[in-house]
Structure 1
Amino acid sequence: MTQRSPSSSTNTSASADTATPRKGSLAALKGLLPFLLPYRRQFVLAGIALLFAAGATLAIPAAFKQMIDLGFGAQAGAHSIKHVDATFLALFGVAAVLGVATAARFYMVSWLGERVTADIRSAVYRHVVHQSPEFFETTQTGEVLSRLTTDTTLIQAVVGTSISLALRNTLLFVGGLVMLFVTSAKLTAIILALLVLVIVPIVLFGRRVRKLSRDSQDRIADASALAGEILNAMPTVQAFTHEKIEAERFGSSVEGAFAAAMQRIRARSLLTMLAIVLVFGTIVFVLWLGAHAVLEGTMTGGDLGQFILYASIVAGSIGALAEVMGEAQRAAGATERLLELLAARSDIRNPAHPRALPARSSNGAALALHDLTFAYPSRQDTAALSHVSLAIRPGETVAVVGPSGAGKTTLFQLLLRYYDPQSGAITLDGVDIRDLDLHTLRGAIGIVPQDTVIFSADAMENIRYGRPEATDEEVIAAAKLAAAHEFIERLPQGYWSFLGERGVRLSGGQRQRIAIARALLKNPPLLLLDEATSALDAESERLVQGALEAAMVGRTTVIIAHRLATVQRADRIVVMEDGRVVETGTHASLVAMKGIYANLAALQFHNVHVEH
């Protein structure tokens, strides 16, 4: 299983929180209590049904005793037929109570299993989507999906079945044991003495089953993570003809999961065999003693029959408890994994007392970077930004250029507060962004990323993602502004055409224009464009460039771009290298400086004439 980075202080606390339950066999299941407590009423109703069902089950042997002794034994007389009739009538009544109570118990615990599982899935997903990008640097999405599906299914089995069976069989065990003492204290004492010797090896072996269960779940998560990664990269896999290699890699991962599962299954099989043979062997021995007692006249036939039935109930409850224990141990491992997700705490949090942004001006937002220094948590020894300072006026358009790895995209991630800098600050309209509610901050920023994200929905909903409450007319207006209206209209169902998973039915340029329309619909005071025209052909670029120029009016814009047309139109160009701002100026002044920008222009924009 993928582990989170040890460099994060939150990881340390998370591991500390989850390390303790692993020492106890089932202690991790205590983590389910917050999800169970809201449904106390349903638990009480299930408990009442459980008590009636257990009571009815324990009444059956007593009825058989009466039937044997009064109907067929030495005590039988002229009224034996009446006794038999009454006994069977009572048995039918007990069966009716047992049937109704069992059905009620099954319904209530099944409802609880489904309800609690749904709550856990929602809670884990809600928690994960609020994590910072640092979490996703070290946790694979396939692993998270495995925990949301496979692990929660195991918990559903425990809450919806195993807890009920455990309580039912515990009641039957205790009740049966009491009735065994009532029937024959001597034989019961012998059984208990032998069972103590039997249970010790069963408990010790059960601990190994629990460890193997967790290992098995980890291997399944690894296989799911691998499959998710490859399925999301199928065009690349096929372009490099790696289908066979990836199929073999997944096959190896599946075989590893199968091998781990077989280890668990073998261990559980041996545990079940051990429990049944030892427990029933003990009971058979004691019943042999009872048979001799009947022959000697110290017990009645009814007493022995009653003892046999109660012994069977006790033995069956022990076997069922051993089976439930195996399921509970698997669920304990699954619970640990889910609690690890819920224990993860993002370093990026809302302030306790967030400030408000000033009233929006008609010219956009003022943005300032004050001596920023930042290194990614997974690469703390390498500074992505070093002492970066920059002031951007409301309505100004600033282009950020530089070679790959210069820190341009990192700048955008800090502006959106995906990370916080190790030193320095960023202010938006004079307010430190760390003092803003995250939704307030990100609501004031529109971004068109280089890697466009298209959701499995129609064009209308993909654009409306920028502002969910927008009307259809506003969506269409944004699409027109982004030069996307014409190609959307040509789709089979127009704006209601399904775009496919990750937008596979669109070209790269079309996906980019959908993303631009989404950002324009949001209508933010600060617009971030990360290579917004990189995927466009010359004609589309011309259309989108005109749309972007119109969109930049009345808002502050920061552009990461290599295209000369975009850079030339910027009010100011900031050149970055190795995480530092090395040059600032207009296109003409920077070319005249004959520095880094002039070299970039000469290399990347071949139509630029650099004077020597």
Structure 2
Amino acid sequence: MISMFKLILLIILLTELETLVILRLYRPINRSSFPFNRYLFTIALLLITIGSLTFAIIKFVLIFHQQFQLSKLYLSCIYIFLFCSLLESIGILFIFPYLNRLKLIEQQYEQNRQEKQVDIRRVFSLAKEERSLMLIGSFFLFIESAIDIVTIILFGQIIAFALKYESMHSVNVTILIYFGIDFINCICSFLNSWLFDLAGQKMIYRLRQNIFNAIIKQEIGFFDENHTGELTNRLSSDTQVVQTMLTGNIALLIQNFIHIIGSLIVMFYLQVTLTLVLISIVPIVILIATIYGNIIENLRQQFQDKLAEANKTAEESISNIRTVRIFGSECKIIDRYKQNLMKSFVIGKKLAFNDALFTGVTGLLTAGTISVVIWYSAKLVHDKKLSTGILSSFLLYLIQVAVAFAYLASLYGEFMQTVGASKRIFYLLDRQPKIPSTSNESCSIEPTDFDGSIHFDNVSFTYPTRPEQQILTNISFSIPPGQKVALVGPSGSGKSTIASLIERFYEPQSGTIYLGSYSLASINPQWLRQNISFVNQEPSLFACSIRYNISFGLDPNQVSFDDIIRVAKQANSHQFIEEFDQKYDTLVGEYDHHLSVARALLMNPKFLLLDEATSALDAQSEYLIQEAIEQF
């Protein structure tokens, strides 16, 4: 009755305190009474928990000294009530420092209110579509873990039967039962392993696809600020870390949690005092694990960032190996990569030290507690108060609990590491492109009367990576339809920038760009790409066939092979292609400028942009491409 009354009071007080905290964070007005109410509720909570703990201690002392003949179940309830009251008091004490940090949390919330926070719960949400597979796998995992607990009881019975009876009949029957349930255990182990692994493969497939979709839709300025090596690192290593945690580690978490709970229940039934001694270290381990998890989360995020920098250096060096070789800078690049690796190595050493320290401290606490338990159990056997069979089962449960706690401790650290590594993943998934790549409410117009004219009206622009350097300042000009216009000027004067603005790779800081009579910002981006083609200074082709590269801008099902041949002839590349053995199915080689022009012509654009498309060609090739452009 007292426990029920206390539970009702705690629920009411904690609910009211939670409401006050939420109002404090999310409603910045009418908060003058918060300090008084906060102290009122916390003092009430403290009085209730202290009273409950005092009552439990007095009851325990009275029963212990008076030596009442009570059942094991009643004694177990008394011990559990005392232990839970102690945990409850410790938990209430932890409220005070967190309430004192409320003001700092409020300030951080104001600064980061636009950012979604990343925690273990949100990381788990990545596997929500595989929830059914994981639930079925958890069912078989539960059966497997329950069988692990039952087999220990059978093992104790086998020892007891062997010592008690001269005949082996009881031992043989128990062994057969043991083999039968172990066979079921193997089947359940196969099913849960297969289901969790399958869920992991499905999750990482979907996660990588979603991340790639999010990356590919970002504006060009995003790729100026984020290097290719960093982004590919998110797709490869970071997603692998998340998969390992959400599938493999979550199965271990469930299994070890069941082992701990089930073993403790049986151990309480077998010997209450020994079990209480064992679980006395739980609050200390939880406190240490919390501190360790916070440290590891920050270090893991730093480690992944430094590793991404090293990958960026490697990617740049390998992709520009000709430049490296021309200047004989192999040693310079090797040293640069080594320095970047050293940064991640330094953080890796901190990770290793903290991991070893956490393992050592928890191992020391566990070893000390187990030593006390073993000594006391040996004393009980010596005093004829505990049978050998029960002792054997209890010690096996003790080992199982110790191993499970060790696994949980390491898994907690890995969970925190995954949270740190997943922050960059969620940054990519949450980020909305500043310039949309598809139609939306603000850019959905598809002009039917566009004649190819373009007008710049007082346009100013700076690149996102160089905001202090003004590239264009109040530029105004018009390009009439049906004309060929050349922009002439020194390097860095903004010629390529104007072409990029017409393609809407970037947004101008001020001014407006018009296509016909419509603002460029109001036009459907997909319609824009279909009606304006762009051949830049260094055209990029994909490692696919010539046919694929020429038809890249259109749906392959809507492009005939005759059209591909036609634009290849216009770009003066058909003759070269026919000399290959596989002709248009040949993988792309050196004729990239010709193919890039053919690719642009196949779009049949109303406006064609050429950004020094022939600057890297010899005179003959330049003449052929210029001839193709004249025919456009």
TM-score (structure 1 length as normaliser): 0.80
SS at match of 2:189: helix
Deviation at residue 195 of structure 1 after TM alignment = 4.1
1:125 & 1:31 partners in 2: Cα distance? Answer: 19
Cα-to-partner distance string for 1:436-487 (whole Å, 9 max, x where unaligned): 2211111211111111112212222221213242222211211110111122
Question: Which residue of structure 1 lines up, in the alignment, with residue 307 of structure 2?
Answer: 220
Question: How many equivalent pairs are there?
Answer: 520
Question: Which residue of structure 2 lines up, in the alignment, with residue 97 of structure 1?
Answer: 184
**Residue 164 in 1 paired to residue 251 in 2?**
yes
Question: Which residue of structure 2 lines up, in the alignment, with residue 65 of structure 1?
Answer: 156
2:603 & 2:528 partners in 1: Cα distance? Answer: 13
1:492 & 1:244 partners in 2: Cα distance? Answer: 41
Equivalences for 1:523-602 in 2 at 5 Å? 523-551=604-632
Question: Which residue of structure 2 lines up, in the alignment, with residue 347 of structure 1?
Answer: 434
Question: Which residue of structure 2 lines up, in the alignment, with residue 273 of structure 1?
Answer: 360
**Residue 440 in 1 paired to residue 527 in 2?**
yes
Equivalences for 1:312-331 in 2 at 5 Å? 312-331=399-418
2:110 & 2:607 partners in 1: Cα distance? Answer: 36
Does the C-alpha gap of structure 1 residues 443 and 44 become closer, same or farther in structure 2, counting only changes over 3 Å?
Answer: same
Deviation at residue 31 of structure 1 after TM alignment = 2.9
2:533 & 2:571 partners in 1: Cα distance? Answer: 14
Question: Which residue of structure 2 lines up, in the alignment, with residue 513 of structure 1?
Answer: 594
5+ residue gaps in structure 1? 1-11, 22-26, 500-504, 552-612
Q: Compare 399-408 and 252-261 and name the one that shifted more.
A: 252-261
Does the C-alpha gap of structure 1 residues 16 and 484 become closer, same or farther in structure 2, counting only changes over 3 Å?
Answer: farther
Deviation at residue 292 of structure 1 after TM alignment = 0.8
1:15 & 1:413 partners in 2: Cα distance? Answer: 33
2:336 & 2:581 partners in 1: Cα distance? Answer: 39
1:166 & 1:55 partners in 2: Cα distance? Answer: 15
Question: Which residue of structure 2 lines up, in the alignment, with residue 117 of structure 1?
Answer: 204
Deviation at residue 199 of structure 1 after TM alignment = 4.8
Question: Which residue of structure 1 lines up, in the alignment, with residue 92 of structure 2?
Answer: none
- The one-letter amino acid of 1:124's match is I
SS at match of 1:368: strand
- The one-letter amino acid of 1:153's match is Q
Does the C-alpha gap of structure 1 residues 422 and 212 become closer, same or farther in structure 2, counting only changes over 3 Å?
Answer: closer
2:351 & 2:547 partners in 1: Cα distance? Answer: 49
SS at match of 1:378: coil
Alpha carbons 1:112, 1:159 under 8 Å: kept: no
Deviation at residue 48 of structure 1 after TM alignment = 0.6
1:131 & 1:116 partners in 2: Cα distance? Answer: 23
Question: Which residue of structure 1 lines up, in the alignment, with residue 569 of structure 2?
Answer: 480
Cα-to-partner distance string for 1:92-117 (whole Å, 9 max, x where unaligned): 12211211111111111111111111
1:421 & 1:121 partners in 2: Cα distance? Answer: 33
Q: Relative contact order (alpha carbons < 8 A, sep ≥ 6): 1 or 2 greater?
A: 1
Alpha carbons 2:531, 2:607 under 8 Å: kept: yes
Alpha carbons 1:459, 1:496 under 8 Å: kept: yes
Deviation at residue 409 of structure 1 after TM alignment = 1.3
5+ residue gaps in structure 2? 1-108
Does the C-alpha gap of structure 1 residues 197 and 543 become closer, same or farther in structure 2, counting only changes over 3 Å?
Answer: closer
2:126 & 2:420 partners in 1: Cα distance? Answer: 17
Does the C-alpha gap of structure 1 residues 61 and 33 become closer, same or farther in structure 2, counting only changes over 3 Å?
Answer: closer
Question: Which residue of structure 2 lines up, in the alignment, with residue 107 of structure 1?
Answer: 194
**Residue 86 in 1 paired to residue 176 in 2?**
no
Q: Compare 181-190 and 31-40 and name the one that shifted more.
A: 31-40
Q: CA RMSD of the aligned region, Å?
A: 2.3
Alpha carbons 2:144, 2:185 under 8 Å: kept: yes
Does the C-alpha gap of structure 1 residues 467 and 418 become closer, same or farther in structure 2, counting only changes over 3 Å?
Answer: same
1:266 & 1:17 partners in 2: Cα distance? Answer: 35
Deviation at residue 274 of structure 1 after TM alignment = 2.8
Of 503, 508, 521, the residue aligned with 1:416 is 503
Alpha carbons 1:113, 1:158 under 8 Å: kept: no
- The one-letter amino acid of 1:477's match is R
SS at match of 2:543: coil
Q: Compare 526-535 and 483-492 and name the one that shifted more.
A: 483-492
Of 5, 30, 54, the residue aligned with 2:121 is 30
**Residue 491 in 1 paired to residue 572 in 2?**
no
Kindly indicate which of the two structures has a greater share of residues assigned to helix. 2
2:193 & 2:355 partners in 1: Cα distance? Answer: 25
Alpha carbons 1:132, 1:418 under 8 Å: kept: yes
Deviation at residue 366 of structure 1 after TM alignment = 2.5
**Residue 182 in 1 paired to residue 273 in 2?**
no
TM-score (structure 2 length as normaliser): 0.78
1:402 & 1:366 partners in 2: Cα distance? Answer: 22
SS at match of 2:486: strand
SS at match of 1:106: helix
SS at match of 1:466: coil
Question: Which residue of structure 1 lines up, in the alignment, with residue 74 of structure 2?
Answer: none
- The one-letter amino acid of 1:269's match is A
Of 322, 325, 336, the residue aligned with 2:423 is 336
Alpha carbons 2:512, 2:519 under 8 Å: kept: yes
Question: Which residue of structure 2 lines up, in the alignment, with residue 301 of structure 1?
Answer: 388
1:547 & 1:532 partners in 2: Cα distance? Answer: 12
Alpha carbons 1:31, 1:339 under 8 Å: kept: no
**Residue 467 in 1 paired to residue 554 in 2?**
yes
1:306 & 1:95 partners in 2: Cα distance? Answer: 17
SS at match of 1:371: strand
SS at match of 1:397: coil
Alpha carbons 1:355, 1:436 under 8 Å: kept: yes
Of 375, 378, 389, the residue aligned with 2:465 is 378
SS at match of 1:348: coil
2:446 & 2:293 partners in 1: Cα distance? Answer: 59
2:288 & 2:110 partners in 1: Cα distance? Answer: 36
Cα-to-partner distance string for 1:223-266 (whole Å, 9 max, x where unaligned): 10100111111111111111121122213323433343233223
SS at match of 2:478: strand
Cα-to-partner distance string for 1:198-241 (whole Å, 9 max, x where unaligned): 55445434433333333322222111010011111111111111
Cα-to-partner distance string for 1:499-550 (whole Å, 9 max, x where unaligned): 3xxxxx41xxx32211111100111111111112222322222222221111
Percent of aligned pairs sharing the same letter: 28
